[in-house]
Every structure is written in structure tokens, then in C-alpha cells.
Amino acid sequence: MSIKALQNYSPNFSTRRRNPKKIKYIVYHYTGMRSESKAVKRLTDDNSNVSCHYFIKRNGQIIIMVPELYESWHAGKSKWKKDISLNKNSIGIEISNKGHGFGYQNYSRKQISSLIKLSRYLIKKYKIKKSNILGHSDIAFERKKDPGEKFPWSYLSNKKIGIWHNIEEKKIKKIRKKKISNIEILKFIRHINKIGYFTKNLNNNKKLKLVKSFQRRYRQKLINGKIDRECLIIAEKLSKLY
């Protein structure tokens, strides 16, 4: 099995080949630039020092930029579980979208359908665990918001890509406003640490960003950075699935 892709190689990669066994994560991104052509240009520009393995255009076309067995430079400073700097053991996929800075768009149907095909291909090839399919904001929540709250994590989980909590929104909405205790806040932090988020040395600013990142992925209708009972229930459920 192979994937149909255009080629536009980036000079930004580590030249030492890696052992395929090292590849254990897939990281999704949005490009976050004014135009698609600018994003392609930047990711293939000698001076930018950034790249990805695959780029998915608005029309669904996939571009290969770095061959899988070389490390591409998509994650930057990042942490997940016990791993730091995830470039070395991940495949990075950039999805064209203006992002929060320039008018955040819905992902196109064609993009999502290509993303599913590509992800299935990679999951099979490298035996990637469901729990190791991540967004950039999961692993770099202090700096990053991508792929953001419009990314269809729930839909992808129906296609066996990534983990979802399956808690129905209707049932839980009522308790969103209920306050939770300090002990429950600590429980929430413990649950999401178990999932993989880096929860050490949290000051208020970092905590806000961490909670927003959690919400962008698992409670996409309300991103306010506040730990409420809905967040707690979702985190509790997830901690059993990861």
C-alpha cells in the first residue's frame, strides 16, 4: 500500500536516517498562514528551519516534503509523556488552514478524507497506537493552538484514529457551570497527566494554556481555560482509555 502524493521536498530535515521503530507518534498541525502558497514556500525554504513530512492542501492533495525515515522539523520544543522534542519519533502532518491568527477556517471535507487515508496508512505501517495520535497543541501547549477546536477529533475517532471520550454533550451541558473543589482540580490535573500532558511547574498562565489546549481537543464548544465539572468528567473518562 502506498499513498498518492505530489512531491515538493524540503531541505529542512535531519540527514541521518532513523530506525522505523523509533516512529511512534503522529502530530497534526495547521499551517496558520495567510495563504496556502506562502505556507508551502515557508516549509520548503532553506532559511525557515521548519518542515513537515506531509502537507494537505485545501483541495485534499497531499504533498510529501520529507521522507518518513528522516526527521522533519515540525514539533519544536515539545513534551508528551516521557518524551521531549518529539521530532525524532514522530511524523508531522501540516494541514492548510489560516489558523487563529488569520481567520480560522473549517477544515475542508477533502482535507479530512485525505487525512484519514494518510493516517491509516501510517498507523498500519508503523503500528502507531491510538493514544499516540496528537495535536501540536497537546505537546507544546504553551506556544501552540493548532490544529485547534475545529479539528474533527470525534469524527476521526469513529474512523479508529485517535482517542475520544464518547461523552454526549447534551447530557453534560447542565453541569458545566457547577463549581469544583480544589481537590477536584488536582484530580483533573492528575488525569490529564496520565493521558500524557506535561503538568509540572504550572503557574497560573501555564495552567490556563494547558486547560485551553485540553478543551481545544476534547471539549471543543467552550474554550475558556477554566476547569469545570464537564472537563473533570471528560478527563476522568479519558484517563481510563489512555
Residues at the interface with Zn ion (CB under 5 A) = 29, 136, 146
Nearest distance from C-beta of residue 171 to Zn ion, angstroms: 33
Burial class for 237, CB neighbours closer than 10 Å (0-12, 13-18, 19+) = middle
> Is the preceding omega at residue 152 within 30 degrees of 0, hence cis?
no
Nearest distance, CB of residue 94 and Zn ion, angstroms: 7
Residue with Cβ nearer Zn ion (87 or 114): 87
Q: Is the Cβ–Cβ distance between 67 and 8 less than 8 Å?
A: no
Which residue in 36, 71, 94, 169 is the catalytic one? 94
Nearer to Zn ion, 32 or 123 (CB): 32
| Cα dihedral sign, 48-100-196-156 | negative
Q: CB-wise, 72 or 215, nearer to Zn ion? A: 72
Q: Closest approach of Cβ 150 to Zn ion, in Å?
A: 14
Question: Of 66 and 232, which has the nearer Cβ to Zn ion?
Answer: 66
Q: In the bound complex, what is the minimum distance in angstroms from residue 194's beta carbon to Zn ion?
A: 24
Q: How far is the CB of 146 from Zn ion (least distance, A)?
A: 4
Using the minimum distance from each CB to Zn ion, give the nearer residue, 29 or 217.
Answer: 29
- The question of whether 184 is a catalytic residue gets the answer no
Residue 94, all three cell numbers: 501540516
- Give catalytic residues, as residue numbers: 94
